[in-house]
Every structure is written in structure tokens, then in C-alpha cells.
Structure 1
């Protein structure tokens, strides 16, 4: 039997208990300059129809429709679906910084080394912390990055910056 559980939380230096789980996958986006925006939107509408998401789930894919994820059918479909459904409440996105790829590469390299038995899990975590700190300091983050930048002139600029609309 395979069991999968959500990641444990931790109590920070401030005494507050926090639990995080990373959002996986790749978002579906429509380029503001695409000649095929209508076709792309039609595909997205098709893709997120509940019957299509159920079929995707049956093949092992992750879905995000609450009415599907919260069912016992979905939770029992794969060994990891229950943990996935339980972790949605504390999911956060990865770093929204220009050096995201470099940070992610560090995680992949260190986790792979630990899973391959080349280093201990603790060494992998220590290496990630050290390497991430080096990258963050080299990039002068957050001082070198404005939180919101200059005011956007239109909705397209907001979308390109990844800011919430409204």
C-alpha cells in the first residue's frame, strides 16, 4: 500500500505555525499579442469543463475544480489525490522573481542528489538554503526589485507583470 501525506508545517522564529505546499504544473495563458487568442480561449473553456477534468483525473492528472477535488471519488482515485486535496488550503506559488529558474534548478539538483542516495536529506536542505542565500544576495533581492513597479497604463501591463486585477 502506498500512502502519501501533505508536507508537515513548522513553527517560525515568531512562534507562528505555518504549513506550505507548492503549486505544481504550468498555467494556461493566452498571449496578449496572439493571433489565435479566440482559439486559445475556446480550448481553455473546453479543457476546464467538468467532464473533461474528470477524464484527466482518471488518467492521473491533477485538477483544480473544487466540486471534483472535494469528492471521495477523486480522493480515492490515486494514492496521492487525498494529500493533494488536503494541501490545497495551504498551497503557495513558487518564487515570482526573475531568477526563479536558477532557484528551481537548485531545488531539483539537491533533491535529486538526496533521492539518488548521494547525500543525506539534511545535507540537501542545507545546500539548498546556502545556494539560495547566495543567489538572493547576488541578485540584491528584494532591494533591487520594486514591489509593484511603475503604475500600469492598462490591464495588459498588469497581466504581464503578474499582478492581481481589481
Structure 2
């Protein structure tokens, strides 16, 4: 059976670049969908699963490994973005605050951002920051999807 054009686009995803700050991001044009969630919730794994590539986004069992905004190009106009996790990570409080500041700038100022995927480890309830992300997306009129990870039956996506 022939591959659907969207599936083909996902499977051709390439790492584009990493950025620590908003001014280091690719040009603010086109369309981006960002993956957000707690540290070690499965953001990078979800990107790998969606793209059918095991090593596109770097994964680790250690929370806090994704420390930069990582951009993956689908085509000239579309990108996926792996955001640093929030919550538990074995880093200093000042480093976590720095990540938070950069994440806030990306979410509030990035014009190319057209949607969020909020990763939720099904073994843990939504935390305060997860709820803040949901509230922010509602206020910003930003489409958001909740993807549940780490269930015994595999990866699930729920749409809000």
C-alpha cells in the first residue's frame, strides 16, 4: 500500500538545529508543532515514533537530557520541536529557571508555533506545570493535544 503523503513527510524528517535561546532558533516562519512535558515524559521518544526513526531525537532514561530547543525539519515549511522538559531533572535550580525562561519566550513569542503536544506519563497525574500549559494554550487559543506515554499498551494520543 502506498504511503500517505503526511506519513512520507514524517519519515523524511531531519535534524535541523538546536537553540538555547529564541534568537538562536531557525527563522520564525512556516509551521511548528512543539512537544512539551515533564522531564522524561517521552517527548523525544514520541518524535522518534511519529517519524519512524529510532535515533532522530536523542532519548535517555535520565531526566533532563534535552536541554535545548531541538528543531526537526519535515519540509521547507514544517518543523517539529522537542522542548526541554520541566519538573524533575538532576540540574541546579538556576539551570531549571533558565530553561523555564527560554521556554516562556519560545511559547509566547514564536509566531511559527501553531500547536503543542503535551506529553503525559500515564503513571503520574498531571502536575501544576502541566495544568499551566493547558491554561496557557486555552488563553493563547493554541491547539494542544495530550499524548499519554509509558502505558502497558503502548503510546496513545488524546485530543483536547
Tell me the TM-score range normalised by the shorter chain.
under 0.3
Q: Pick the structure with more helix per residue.
A: 1
Q: Taking structure 1 as the reference length, what is the TM-score of the superposition? A: 0.24
With normalisation by structure 2, the TM-score equals: 0.25
Larger radius of gyration: 1
Structure with the higher strand share, 1 or 2: 2
Bigger RCO of structures 1 and 2 (CA < 8 A, at least 6 apart):
2
